[in-house]
Amino acid sequence: MKPLPGVEALPLDVTDPASRAAGASFVKARHGRLDVLVKNAGILLDGTTGLMDLEADLLRRTLETNTLGPLFIAQAFAPLMGKGGRIVNVSSGGGQLSAPSTWSPAYCISKAALNAITVQLAEVLMPRGIAVNAVCPGWVRTDMGGPEAPRSLQQGADSILWLILKASPDLTGGFWRDGERIAW
């Protein structure tokens, strides 16, 4: 992909401690600070297998990327952030405990746990003036979402951009879609 003007890409594997540390060191050396952290990386490995036949390895790998990755990325990068900083965890409606769903159980469990991390991280970082929120982008036409998904890439990104650019920095510890709060 052609790089956008002013955009610098940095390869980073969210499951690899050395890669996370190298990413944080690079940002610190290059820019001295970080204003916004969007944790978007995610995997959906479930096939048609239901919860009762879920294999441990598939669940572990899913949690490693979708849940532990965002937590440890926050540990690595939040020290570079200050008052007014914003962290966005890209979650999914599949992780809503208020609307339980049995499709793709490993994925849904990983996003429910990511939501729990979002709430805790928001509390822990509130004294430093850093807002932490989760967002559901909706069903989007990406590799994961597939060609049948109703939302364009721009529509999927809009909820994330709203949290970064338009939402009040006082809004923290919430779950959002299309600029509206949704239930956990």
Ligand X SMILES: NC(=O)c1ccc[n+]([C@@H]2O[C@H](COP(=O)([O-])OP(=O)(O)OC[C@H]3O[C@@H](n4cnc5c(N)ncnc54)[C@H](OP(=O)(O)O)[C@@H]3O)[C@@H](O)[C@H]2O)c1
**Which parts of this chain interact with ligand X (CB under 6 A)?**
12-15, 40-43, 65, 90, 92, 136-137, 139-140, 142-145, 149
* Closest residue to ligand X: CB criterion: 42
Nearer to ligand X, 39 or 86 (CB): 39
Distance CA 117, CA 111 (A): 10
CB of 51 to ligand X, least distance (A): 18
Of the candidates 100, 111, 178, 183, the residue with the CA atom closest to the CA atom of residue 144: 111
Nearer to ligand X, 5 or 147 (CB): 147
Three-state DSSP at 9 gives coil
CB of 2 to ligand X, least distance (A): 16
Instruction: Tell me 75's DSSP state.
Output: H
Q: Is 151 a catalytic residue?
A: no
Nearer to ligand X, 13 or 129 (CB): 13
Which pairs count as long-range contacts for 2-7, CB under 8 Å and 24+ apart, including other chains? none
Choose the catalytic residue: 107, 111, 133, 167: 107
CB of 52 to ligand X, least distance (A): 23
Residues with catalytic roles: 107
